Amino acid sequence: MNDTSNNPRPSNFIRQIIDADLASGKNGSRVATRFPPEPNGYLHIGHAKSIVLNFGIAQDYHGTCNLRFDDTNPAKEDIEYVESIKQDVQWLGFKWTHLYYASDYFDKLYDFALQLIKLGKAYVCDLSFEQMREYRGTLTQPGKDSPYRNRSVAENLGLFDRMRKGEFPDGSRVLRAKIDMASPNINLRDPTIYRIKKDAEHHQTGSKWCIYPMYDYAHCLSDMLEGITHSLCTLEFEDHRPLYDWVLDVLKAPCHPQQIEFSRLNLEYTVMSKRKLTELVQKKLVDGWNDPRMPTIAGLRRRGFTPESIRDFCLRIGVTKADNIVEMSLLEDCIRNDLNERAIRRMAVLHPLKVLITNYPYDKVERLTAANHPQKAEFGNREIAFCAEIFIDRNDFMESPPKGFKRLIPGGEVRLRYGYVIRCDEVIKDAGGTVQELHCSYDAATLGTNPVGRKVAGVIHWVSARHAIRAKLRLYDRLFIVPNPDVQGSRENKDYTAYLNPDSLHINSVAVLEPALANAKPQDRFQFEREGYFCLDEQSPDGAPLVFNRTVTLRDTWAKSDK
């Protein structure tokens, strides 16, 4: 499966903590991590960072890594997301040790809540949502105790039982941890640990429960129940760590996982929050979660990204506590490097211009041999049909070229890739002056060798007009026109959707391909020579026109002109 072993073992501050823990014999020298997505959307490249970190650590330290669905909020969750998350983790090349759902623990979490009540560390509170907010105080002012804070254990047990039985409406009561309303950390001001959600049908537990634990309460206990040693999460949970520790301490948990925070991945020219990605999908601003322009794993897969390139990217960005935004060109570099190695070469003409080779026998067809990869003989060869009628790209011909133009010009010569040298003898135009066709002649002595006594500067790609297959190419560009739509939006008082790139998808319906591409299968990856890397779309029809997605251009076209 995973060939991360080719890479040197990464080093980061989390691995240093683990090294120290192992050296001191902490956790019985075990390493156990987990990846805990909430099934309320598809995974994105930010999640991949967390996946590569958690599963990578488990692999390198011979430990374990669980996939745990953090499914404590049934209202936003769905089994579709559960399935997609499993698929994406596997596709990225990882195997979980165990698959769990936080909802597997609902009975145990309920029992722990009873324990907290009995310890006098939790109470049922009847304040409304607005009142609770008012009582909570602010960053600069302490909160006030709820009038329900000093209910007796018996009263709390009775009310909590009735909450569970569904006797109260949503929002009328919650169970709160009893910590400190004056704590400088607002998360410790008697946080809610259970709420009533009567209507929600849970994708795993159905209608068994009408009270649900809050994330902060469920997460630490789930980690503990699974014997997690290092609970890795993103920086926004730093302020929640005291609560994580409080719950485990008060309940005298037999093992106490260590929560360690690292910075989220932010990526230029896209958005990464599930709320925004969901909005793009729901408002049909993109073509679903797996739209190849989306930063989702499903989108990147459909776009032609390989699991190896995504893992490579995650290793290259590293793991720190510093918040930053990573350049899109880094991700593009990773896929270019990988595809340069593994993609089979093919010829595709995006803007066909007909060429008649006047001195080639009109009915003759020749099979030329072409390597599937210039450096990898093991990839083998394919045959390419050559005849008197071919297509070249319009952009490879110019009547009045600028200095340094190395392709075809009237009277000039160019080499056809894998084929002969041709010379342009005549330019045929329509009444409006548009070039319709070129009449060329070929030099029969130039197959695989240079012509004697003259230099041919350029090599262009082509396909036989009689054998070409038609295709529809989806040429993708970045989804947003500014590097940081969120920040720019708040600066200019605009919604992030104002910066969607109107040209993020261009469809080319005139392209023609060499016939070997007729057998392409979804996820086969190709370099269309001189044009870019492409893969067959998973929904391409069986017959023509085949639909290909451009994964990435051959070079960074954004580097010079910052659109």
Q: How far is Cα 555 from Cα 402, in angstroms, rounded to an integer?
A: 22
Q: How far is Cα 305 from Cα 326, in angstroms, rounded to an integer?
A: 18
Closest CA to 391 of 305, 512, 488: 512
Annotated catalytic, 165?
A: no
Q: Which of 18, 42, 46, 319 binds ligand ATP (CB under 6 A)?
A: 46
Q: Which of 178, 197, 240, 274 binds ligand ATP (CB under 6 A)?
A: 274
Cα 3 to the chain's mean position, in Å? 19
Annotated catalytic, 389?
A: no
State the nearest-atom distance from the C-beta of 327 to ligand ATP, in Å.
Answer: 15
User: In the complex with ligand ATP, which residue's Cβ is closer, 244 or 386?
Assistant: 244
Residue for token pair 């302020």 = 239
Q: Is 38 in the site for ligand ATP (CB under 6 A)?
A: yes
Q: Is 76 in the site for ligand ATP (CB under 6 A)?
A: no
User: In the complex with ligand ATP, which residue's Cβ is closer, 50 or 222?
Assistant: 50
Q: Which of 211, 243, 272, 512 binds ligand ATP (CB under 6 A)?
A: 272
Judge whether 126 and 160 are in contact, CB under 8 Å.
Answer: no
Q: Is 195 in the site for ligand ATP (CB under 6 A)?
A: no
For the chain, the distance separating the N- and C-terminal CA atoms, rounded to the nearest angstrom, is 39
Q: Which of 50, 66, 309, 504 binds ligand ATP (CB under 6 A)?
A: 50
Q: Is 273 in the site for ligand ATP (CB under 6 A)?
A: yes
CA distances from 114 to 164, 371, 547 (A): 12, 70, 58
User: In the complex with ligand ATP, which residue's Cβ is closer, 47 or 415?
Assistant: 47
Q: Which tokens is 351 given?
A: 């803007």
Annotated catalytic, 274?
A: yes
Closest CA to 390 of 353, 434, 435: 353
Q: Is 265 in the site for ligand ATP (CB under 6 A)?
A: yes
Q: Is 12 in the site for ligand ATP (CB under 6 A)?
A: no
Query: Crossing angle of helices 79-91/45-60, nearest 10°?
Result: 60
Catalytic residue among 49, 68, 241, 274: 274
Cα 205 to the chain's mean position, in Å? 29
Judge whether 437 and 428 are in contact, CB under 8 Å.
Answer: yes
Q: Is 37 in the site for ligand ATP (CB under 6 A)?
A: yes
Q: How far is Cα 79 from Cα 352, in angstroms, rounded to an integer?
A: 46
Q: Is 257 in the site for ligand ATP (CB under 6 A)?
A: no
Listed ranges 32-40, 114-122, 317-325, 345-353: which one lies at the site for ligand ATP (CB under 6 A) = 32-40
Site size toward ligand ATP, by CB under 6 A: 15
Cβ neighbour number for residue 503 with a 10 Å cutoff: 11
Q: Is 49 in the site for ligand ATP (CB under 6 A)?
A: yes
Q: Is 329 in the site for ligand ATP (CB under 6 A)?
A: no
Catalytic residue among 76, 149, 264, 423: 264
Closest CA to 464 of 385, 396, 554: 385
Site for ligand ATP in 207-246 (CB under 6 A): 233-234
Q: How far is Cα 503 from Cα 558, in angstroms, rounded to an integer?
A: 14
Which sequence positions are flagged as catalytic? 38, 264, 274
Site of interaction with ligand ATP (CB under 6 A): 36-38, 46-47, 49-50, 70, 233-234, 264-265, 272-274
